[in-house]
């Protein structure tokens, strides 16, 4: 109940008329000067390798956008003020969306040893629900950050063991498995996906690959939404590119984990 910004106040700050004097416009070079500026930039700063500092600037910009996004999407907090974990978020959304009342498709992207997928197998009790866990099972295909480099989460191809007949796994890069899998799939059931692949590239790939199939009511869980250069940025790019309408269903740990529903 508490901690929800007044929607009217949020709306007023987001008035498009105010955005007319944005810095963005000041830095926009008039069309007629662009070839000259491009040529000048190529001959001067083009000699410098500013990739690393520019990534830093991009990261700062992404944090600004993330901070703005979370302000525009207030999440209801538990009345008792206690911190909740992702298991609590899964359960509360399963209840709110009555996810146990229908045979849904649940796909997880980023399985590792299966911790979150096994939690989902316990929570979703419908006997006809179907689960698919996608992962290389040889770790991250590229560096994510200093502590999780290429190959982090490598389980040497060992697929998690479960006796639950509703669950299967697709081993390999999402980029190699998903399009083929989706092409053969009947998307008539509600699709619930859990994105826990950490990387911008992987998250963006999954969202864009599934974009033609998403329908009203499908649900997306993010495990690291707070990572503004990765899951958040991928979601932001996906929403912009496909003009996706969505509703935020919930979140925990200050937007570390977030859940949205396609409208």
Ligand X SMILES: C[S@@+](CC[C@H](N)C(=O)[O-])C[C@H]1O[C@@H](n2cnc3c(N)ncnc32)[C@H](O)[C@@H]1O
| Residues in contact with ligand X by the rule CB under 6 A | 110-113, 115-116, 135-136, 139-141, 153, 173-175, 196-199, 202
The rounded distance, in Å, linking the Cα atoms of 131 and 27 is 48
At closest approach, how far in Å is the CB of 153 from ligand X? 4
Q: Which is nearer to ligand X, 69 or 174 (CB)?
A: 174
Q: Which is nearer to ligand X, 10 or 173 (CB)?
A: 173
Q: Which is nearer to ligand X, 111 or 193 (CB)?
A: 111
The rounded distance, in Å, linking the Cα atoms of 108 and 138 is 16
The answer to whether the beta carbons of residues 104 and 189 sit under 8 Å apart is: yes
Q: Which is nearer to ligand X, 38 or 122 (CB)?
A: 122
Q: Which is nearer to ligand X, 117 or 191 (CB)?
A: 117
Nearest to 65 by CA among 231, 208, 220: 231
At closest approach, how far in Å is the CB of 142 from ligand X? 8
Q: Provide the residue count of the chain.
A: 263
Helices (H), 73-199: 86-96, 115-123, 174-183
At closest approach, how far in Å is the CB of 238 from ligand X? 15
Q: Which is nearer to ligand X, 74 or 208 (CB)?
A: 208
At closest approach, how far in Å is the CB of 152 from ligand X? 7
User: Phi and psi (nearest 5°) for 204?
Assistant: -65, -40
At closest approach, how far in Å is the CB of 169 from ligand X? 11
Residue nearest to ligand X (CB): 110
What angle, 0 to 180 degrees and rounded to 10, lies between the N-to-C axes of helices 231-242 and 51-72? 70
The answer to whether the beta carbons of residues 131 and 111 sit under 8 Å apart is: no
The DSSP-derived string for 236-253 is HHHHHHHT--EEEEEEET
At closest approach, how far in Å is the CB of 171 from ligand X? 9
User: Phi and psi (nearest 5°) for 252?
Assistant: -135, 170
């Amino acid at each position: 109940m508490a901690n929800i910004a007044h929607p009217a106040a949020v709306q007023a700050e987001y008035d498009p008329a105010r955005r007319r004097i944005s810095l963005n416009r000041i830095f926009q070079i008039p069309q007629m000067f662009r070839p000259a500026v491009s040529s000048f930039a190529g001959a001067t700063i083009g000699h410098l390798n500013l990739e690393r500092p520019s990534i830093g600037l991009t990261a700062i910009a992404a944090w600004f956008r993330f901070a703005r996004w979370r302000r525009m999407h207030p999440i209801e907090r538990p009345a008792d003020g206690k911190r909740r974990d992702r298991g609590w978020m899964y359960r509360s959304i399963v209840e709110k969306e009555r996810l146990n009342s229908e045979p849904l498709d649940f796909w997880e992207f980023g399985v590792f040893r299966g911790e979150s997928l096994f939690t989902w197998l316990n929570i979703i009790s419908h006997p006809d629900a179907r689960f698919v866990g996608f992962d290389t099972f040889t770790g991250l295909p590229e560096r994510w950050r200093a502590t999780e480099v290429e190959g982090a989460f490598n389980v040497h191809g060992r697929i998690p063991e479960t006796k639950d007949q509703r669950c299967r796994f697709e081993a390999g890069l999402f980029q190699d498995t998903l399009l083929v899998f989706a092409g053969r799939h009947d998307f008539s059931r509600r699709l619930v996906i859990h994105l826990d692949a950490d990387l911008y590239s992987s998250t963006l790939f999954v969202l864009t690959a599934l974009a033609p199939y998403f329908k009203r009511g499908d649900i997306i869980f993010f495990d690291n939404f707070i990572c503004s250069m990765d899951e958040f940025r991928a979601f932001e790019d996906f929403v912009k590119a496909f003009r996706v309408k969505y509703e935020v269903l919930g979140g925990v740990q200050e937007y570390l984990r977030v859940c949205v529903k396609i409208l």
